[in-house]
Amino acid sequence: MKPVADCVIHHLAAAALFPRPYRGKGTPVGWEVEERPHVSIAARAGTIVWIGPAGQLSDEVTLAADCRFVNGAGRLAVPGFVDSHTHLVYAGDRSDEFEMRVQGRPYLDILAAGGGILRTVEAVRARSEEELFDEAAARLIEALAWGTTTIEIKTGYGLDLPTELKMLRVIDRLRRELPVRIVATFMGAHAVPADRRADPDAFVDEICRDWIPEVAKTGLAAFNDVFTENKAFSVAQSRKILEAGLAHGLRPKIHADEINVLGGVDLAVEIGAVSADHLLMTGPAGIARLAGSGVIPTVLPGTSTYLMEAHHAPARAMIAAGLPLAIASDHNPGSCQFLGAGLVQTLAMLQLRLTAAEALIAGTLHAAHALGQGDRLGALEVGRQLDAVLLEATSIRQIGYRAGQNLVRQVIIGGQPVFQA
C-alpha cells in the first residue's frame, strides 16, 4: 500500500542521508553521508513516510487532501541539529571575565573579583521566572535560527531546591511556548555552593534525600547530571547522586574528564549513563572503557576553544576506536558562549579534525542518541520525525567551511515549517 502524506518537501537540490546510521549499543557506527540529488521527502503526522526521486512522488505516495508543500527552493536538506548539552537558562553577563581571561588574568583573580559560576547562581536566584524565560527564549530563537531542532537544557544555577525547581519550570515553559524540542536535565550537583563548602557530603545527602524526589515528582526532568571533578563532586559522591536519580527514574549523564581524569568515565560505564560529556583529558584507557558500552561520548569543542585550551578532546582516537562520538555546544555564561550549530560544526572540524560528514553525524544522529532519542530523531530516514534544515549550500562541506556564516534558510520540526530566514 502507498504511504499517505500530509507534508512534502520538494524542489530540493539534495538531501543528506545517512546510509548506515548507528542504532544503539552493540550496533556498528557508520560515518558516511550520501548527498542524494533531487529527492522529495514526504511525512504524515510529523513522521517521515517516504524519501525518493522527486519525479516518483505522485506514483508512490498518496497525498492527503490538505497536504502541505514546503518549497525546498534548490536548497540542501540536512537533519535538524541536536544540541545535547547546554546550560541555556541563566542570567547575568560575564563578558568582563571573558576579557580578563583573554588578558591572561588567573582564574583566582576572576573569582576574587566576584566572578565564576557562583556569580551566575546569585543572578539566577535573584531573577523572576518571567525574566529568566525572556532571556532564555531569545537564546533559543537564536539557536533555532542556526538550525537546532532539539536542545537539552540543564539546571544547576540554583544550587538550592527552590531555584532548581524554578529553572525546571522555565525550561518547561520554553518547551510549551517555542517550537524547538526541549529535553530537561536536573543538575543540582553542578557546584558546591559557597555556604556548603564546610560539609559537601551533607550537601550531597540533601540532593539525594530531598531534591531528587521533589524533582522527580514534577515530571519535568528526563536526566540527572553531575560535575565529577576536583573541587566539585568526587566519583563516590557522583555515584551516590546518579544512583539516587536512577531510583527516581532520572537517567544519568556525567561531566567527566574535563580537567582531571578521576574515574568519571568508569562510573558512566558502570552505571549505564546515557552520555559522558567533555572528555577533554580522556586517554586510551577511557576510550577502551567506552568502546561498546552504549555510553555516548559527547565532546564540546566550543568550550576548549573558549577557554583557550592548548588541547582538545581526542575525537579522532574515539572515532578510530569505533565510538559513536557526539558533539554539542555546551552554551553557558562562563566557559562557552558558542551557540549556533554551524559554528560548532566549524569548531569540530578545526579543533577536533573531524571530516564534514563526521561533524554532521556527530551533531545530529549521535547527539540524538545522547538524549536517548536516537531511534526517532537525528536523521532523514523513513520512520523518524521530519526535523530538517534547508541550507543555502551546495554540499555538507560548506557547513563547517563557511565559518560563522549562517546558511540556514528554513527549519522544519515534526513536518511543520517553524522558521524562515
- H helices present in 178-320, as ranges: 200-206, 212-218, 235-247, 264-271, 284-290, 301-306, 315-320
Among 312, 235, 326, residue whose Cα is nearest residue 281: 312
Other C-beta atoms within 10 Å of 395: how many?
Answer: 15
Is 22 annotated to bind a ligand? Reply is: no
Is 329 annotated to bind a ligand? Reply is: no
Say which DSSP state 207 is in: I
How are beta strands 4-10 and 62-71 bridged, if at all?
Answer: parallel
How are beta strands 251-256 and 275-278 bridged, if at all?
Answer: parallel
Q: Are 38 and 4 in contact (CB under 8 A)?
A: no
> Residue 4 in 3-state DSSP?
strand
Sequence-distant (≥ 6) Cβ neighbours of residue 400 within 8 angstroms: 342, 345, 346, 348, 349, 350, 356, 359
CA 183 to CA 163: how far, in whole Å?
Answer: 18
Is 11 annotated to bind a ligand? Reply is: no
SS3 content of the chain, % helix, strand, coil (to 5): 35, 25, 40
Is 255 annotated to bind a ligand? Reply is: yes
Is 24 annotated to bind a ligand? Reply is: no
Is 90 annotated to bind a ligand? Reply is: no
Q: Are 49 and 61 in contact (CB under 8 A)?
A: yes
Q: Are 151 and 180 in contact (CB under 8 A)?
A: yes
Is 335 annotated to bind a ligand? Reply is: yes
Q: Are 380 and 15 in contact (CB under 8 A)?
A: yes
Other C-beta atoms within 10 Å of 349: how many?
Answer: 20
Is 330 annotated to bind a ligand? Reply is: yes
What grid cell was written down for 355?
571530516
Is 84 annotated to bind a ligand? Reply is: no
Q: Are 418 and 144 in contact (CB under 8 A)?
A: yes
Helices 161-177 and 129-145, axial angle in degrees (round to 10): 50
Backbone angles phi, psi at 252, to 5 degrees: -80, 145
What grid cell was written down for 121?
547562581
Q: Are 280 and 256 in contact (CB under 8 A)?
A: no
Backbone angles phi, psi at 142, to 5 degrees: -60, -45
Quick one: how far is CA 356 from the chain centroid? 18
Annotated binding site for Fe(3+): 85, 87, 255, 330
Annotated binding site for N-formimidoyl-L-glutamate: 157, 332, 334
Annotated binding site for 4-imidazolone-5-propanoate: 94, 157, 190, 258, 335
Annotated binding site: 85, 87, 94, 157, 190, 255, 258, 330, 332, 334-335
Annotated binding site for Zn(2+): 85, 87, 255, 330
